[in-house]
């Protein structure tokens, strides 16, 4: 007997020496995933050949699922060295009794070997190869690492590979928390993934789940009542969509580093989901061709916490695949705070300076207020709070349009001007230029930081910035806009001289009046509403009814009942497609 064992062992070692090294390409080929700041999945991408194959490990799945998997597939997994002698003897006896292979006797490790080196035939030579490879795997990896390989490689029907992809596709969630019925179905599917696909063969899937549940009950892994309840749970009959949060940002970072399989962003998945839902609801209420872009940034760090590039990524009618945070649009009144700030900084006015809000002509340019009315003499503070046009133009005229533009460009904003080639006019203060939402957000972050502009960052520390340099992007300004490189707002850390402070920040900006000063309204308030309104809410009207912006320098966001720290700059706008008109009553948005 000892001689036979020695001879068998020697034969196996000789056979192993004739095999090439194990090819781990199948294990390395995984879906690229984009994660939020806490590691939650924002968006996965299919592999190069169109498969969903999400990275997963034993720590990422429900422990009960692992126990059920071992009980059904390989109950001695934790003890054997890759091959289960008892299981092999049982399979051999069944083959002799039936004249064909009934049960392969494969261990989980042998299944991993087969998945790494897939072969079609079911023969003794194929089993021998799997056994040798399994022993090799056991010598090379820990039991947990072998489980990780199985959980990643196991087929679940169609283009689904790995338990994590299957859990998202069939249950719409991570496999960390599974019901008894869900875990049993995931155990059953890899044995015959195509004939048991619940989205095509739900009855076959149900019967396979029943067999797993019976084994689970016999093994004492679930009570009779739990199994009975699991049997009543319906089998999913359709696949669910994979997460698709922040799709535009996810595409951008993946395109910039395609070799990086996992990318963690500064985005918060909960905020992102809430704001995407908010954008959808508001756009539907406004009209069929409208889209809304929202950007939320942390004033202290420059980290982007949410980026909504459009209402619906798959809605062609709303141009959903375009990232509108990077689109050139008119800022409407959103640059007025910077006009006032620079005027204060240069000693041209202060918050209590009285300005004239009356009909005024500047050559051929005759600006008007949005409501076509006038307030007469009004303080600079109130003029900005009411978002009056005439006082802003008066200050811009004293400051100089070119000087104003130079300060914005020095702060890193890429400005697009009409192609007429003329010098910038006073209309730039009321939306007569093009700027991206990303650049505008960066300017407002700088305003909240006392004039210091910092780059916006969407990748977590240690991973790198999202964009190495400004690059031309698709423009939505129309044929009248100049073809200038579009700043992304996501550049790498520039040299200190690249973005000087917008302002020197005189004593006014350090006063307690700062927050109450930065209040904007798109219509005249009633009574004393200006004085009593919250200083942390703001709205802007656009230069016409086709563009709408809103912004605030500091805000407390409440998303699904959770309030954020009041240190976030958030901007939103409703850029319209194909010249759609919002209408005169629908031009106010609240941030």
Which residues form the catalytic set? 73, 333
- Cβ neighbours of residue 473 under 8 Å, at least 6 residues apart? 323, 326, 327, 486, 488
Please tell me the distance from the alpha carbon of residue 429 to that of residue 411, in angstroms, as a whole number.
17
- Nearest CA among 32, 41, 50 for reference residue 158: 50
Going by DSSP bridges, is the β-strand pair 558-559/549-555 parallel, antiparallel, or unpaired? Answer: unpaired
End-to-end CA distance of the chain: 82
Strands 262-264 and 304-308: unpaired
Of 123, 472, 555, 86, the closest CA to residue 298 belongs to 555
Neighbours of 510 (CB within 10 A): 10
Residues 254, 263 contacting (CB under 8 angstroms): yes
CB atoms < 10 A from the CB of 376, how many?
8
Q: Answer for the pair 489, 438: CB distance below 8 angstroms, yes or no.
A: yes
Instruction: Report which secondary-structure segment, H or E, holds 452.
Output: none
Q: How many CB atoms lie within 10 A of CB 264?
A: 20
In b/e form, how buried is each residue of 306-319, taking b as 16+ CB within 10 angstroms? bbbbbbbbeeeebb
CA dihedral 131, 134, 135, 140 (to 10 degrees): 160
Buried b (16+ CB within 10 A) or exposed e, 329-365: bbbbbbbbbbbbbbbbbbeebebebebebeebeeeee
Q: Which residues pair with 481 in a beta bridge?
A: 418
**Sign, Cα dihedral of 385, 440, 591, 569:** negative
Phi-psi map region of 183: left, alpha, beta (phi>0 left; psi -120 to 50 alpha): alpha
For 530, the token pair is 């200006």
How far apart CA 149 and CA 144 sit, in angstroms, is: 9
Say how far apart CA 313 and CA 494 lie, in whole Å. 32
Residue 176 φ then ψ, to 5°: -70, -35
C-beta separation of 579 from 361 below 8 A: no
Mark out the alpha helices in 400-483 (DSSP H runs): 401-410, 437-448
């Amino acid at each position: 007997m000892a001689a036979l064992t020695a001879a068998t062992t020697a034969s196996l070692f000789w056979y192993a020496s004739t095999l090439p090294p194990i090819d781990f390409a199948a294990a390395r080929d995984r879906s690229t995933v984009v994660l939020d700041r806490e590691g939650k999945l924002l968006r996965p991408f299919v592999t190069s050949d169109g498969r969903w194959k999400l990275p997963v490990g034993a720590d990422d799945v429900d422990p009960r699922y692992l126990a059920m998997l071992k009980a059904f597939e390989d109950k001695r997994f934790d003890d054997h060295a890759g091959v289960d002698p008892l299981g092999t003897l049982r399979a051999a006896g069944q083959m002799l009794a039936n004249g064909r292979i009934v049960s392969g006797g494969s261990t989980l490790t042998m299944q991993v070997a087969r998945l790494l080196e897939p072969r079609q035939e079911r023969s003794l030579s194929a089993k021998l190869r799997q056994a040798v490879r399994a022993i090799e795997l056991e010598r090379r990896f820990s039991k947990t690492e072998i489980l990780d390989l199985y959980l990643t490689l196991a087929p679940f029907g169609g283009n689904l590979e790995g338990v994590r992809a299957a859990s998202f596709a069939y249950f719409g969630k991570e496999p960390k928390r599974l019901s008894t019925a869900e875990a049993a179905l995931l155990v059953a599917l890899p044995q015959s993934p195509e004939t048991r696909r619940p989205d095509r063969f739900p009855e076959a899937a149900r019967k396979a789940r029943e067999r797993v549940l019976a084994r689970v009950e016999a093994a004492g892994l679930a009570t009779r009542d739990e199994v009975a309840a699991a049997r009543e749970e319906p089998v999913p009959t359709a696949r669910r969509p994979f997460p698709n949060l922040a799709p535009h940002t996810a595409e951008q970072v993946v395109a910039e580093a395609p070799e990086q399989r996992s990318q963690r962003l500064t985005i918060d998945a909960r905020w992102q989901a809430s704001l995407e839902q908010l954008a959808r609801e508001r756009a539907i209420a406004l009209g069929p061709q409208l889209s809304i872009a929202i950007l939320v940034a942390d004033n202290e760090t420059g980290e982007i916490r949410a980026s909504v590039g459009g209402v619906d990524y798959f809605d062609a009618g709303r141009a959903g695949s375009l990232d509108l945070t990077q689109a050139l649009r008119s800022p409407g009144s959103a640059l007025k705070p910077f006009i006032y700030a620079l005027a204060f900084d240069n000693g041209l006015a202060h918050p209590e300076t009285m300005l004239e809000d009356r009909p005024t002509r500047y050559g051929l340019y005759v600006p008007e207020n949005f409501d076509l009315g006038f307030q007469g003499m009004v303080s600079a503070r109130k003029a900005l709070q009411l978002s009056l046009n005439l006082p802003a133009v008066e200050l811009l005229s004293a400051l100089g349009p070119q000087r104003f533009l130079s300060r914005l460009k020095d702060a890193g904003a890429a400005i697009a001007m009409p192609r007429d080639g003329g010098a910038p006019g006073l209309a730039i203060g009321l939306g007569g230029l093009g700027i991206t939402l990303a650049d505008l957000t960066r300017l407002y972050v700088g305003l909240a930081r006392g004039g210091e502009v910092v780059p916006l960052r969407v990748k977590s520390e240690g991973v790198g910035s999202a964009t190495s340099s400004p690059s031309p992007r698709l423009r939505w300004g129309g044929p009248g806009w100049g073809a200038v490189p579009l700043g992304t707002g996501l550049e790498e850390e520039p040299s200190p001289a690249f973005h000087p402070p917008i302002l020197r920040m005189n004593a006014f900006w350090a006063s307690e009046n700062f927050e109450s000063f930065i209040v904007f309204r798109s219509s005249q308030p009633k009574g004393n509403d200006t004085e009593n309104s919250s200083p942390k809410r703001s709205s802007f009207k656009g230069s016409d009814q086709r563009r709408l912006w809103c912004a605030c320098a500091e805000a407390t966001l409440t998303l699904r009942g959770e309030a954020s720290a009041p240190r976030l700059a958030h901007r939103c706008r409703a850029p319209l497609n194909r010249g759609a008109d919002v209408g005169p009553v629908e031009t106010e948005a609240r941030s």
